[in-house]
């Protein structure tokens, strides 16, 4: 499941909306929405994200969060490390090999550490 898919499922559950009802309202198939939730589809289009935002009638921060999550929800990521420090290539490959064995707590920790490091290096 992608971050966007998890949020979409959460919004549906909070509002008691079935996959079938939402799909009908958005003029897509329930199969498409299910695949979107489970990360079996690529990143949704900007237009689809806007339709979902309108469907749930979310505004401001929650709408921005949905858009951000959609952008960060490509289930088939490619990392181009050509021309970077060799450690960047090592990191990308290590992550590719080890990601399946990481716990949710470890993933959360790594995401936090990467964000902190990126913010520090930005300064």
Condensed to tens digits (0 to 9), the pLDDT of residues 58-71 reads 989 999 999 999 99
- Say what the pTM is: 0.74
pLDDT at residue 88 greater than cutoff 80? yes
Q: What value does the mean pLDDT of the chain take?
A: 93
DSSP 32-71: HHHHHHHT-S-PPPHHHHHHHHHHHT--HHHHHHHHHHHH
Band of residue 75 on the pLDDT scale cut at 50, 70, 90: confident
The backbone region for 82, taken as left when phi is positive above 0, alpha when psi lies in -120 to 50, beta otherwise, is beta
Band of residue 123 on the pLDDT scale cut at 50, 70, 90: low
pLDDT at residue 55 greater than cutoff 70? yes
Angle between helix axes 46-56 and 3-15 (nearest 10 degrees) is 20
């Amino acid at each position: 499941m992608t971050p966007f898919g998890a949020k979409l499922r959460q919004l549906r559950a909070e509002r008691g909306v079935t996959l079938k009802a939402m799909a009908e309202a958005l003029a897509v198939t329930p199969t498409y929405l299910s695949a979107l939730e489970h990360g079996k589809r690529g990143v949704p289009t900007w237009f689809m994200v806007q339709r979902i935002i309108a469907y749930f009638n979310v505004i401001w921060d929650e709408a921005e969060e949905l858009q951000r999550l959609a952008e960060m929800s490509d289930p088939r990521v490619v990392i181009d490390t050509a021309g970077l420090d060799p450690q960047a290539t090592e990191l990308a490959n290590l992550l590719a090999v080890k990601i399946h064995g990481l716990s949710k707590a470890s993933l959360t920790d790594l995401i936090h550490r990467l964000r902190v490091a990126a913010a520090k290096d930005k300064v």
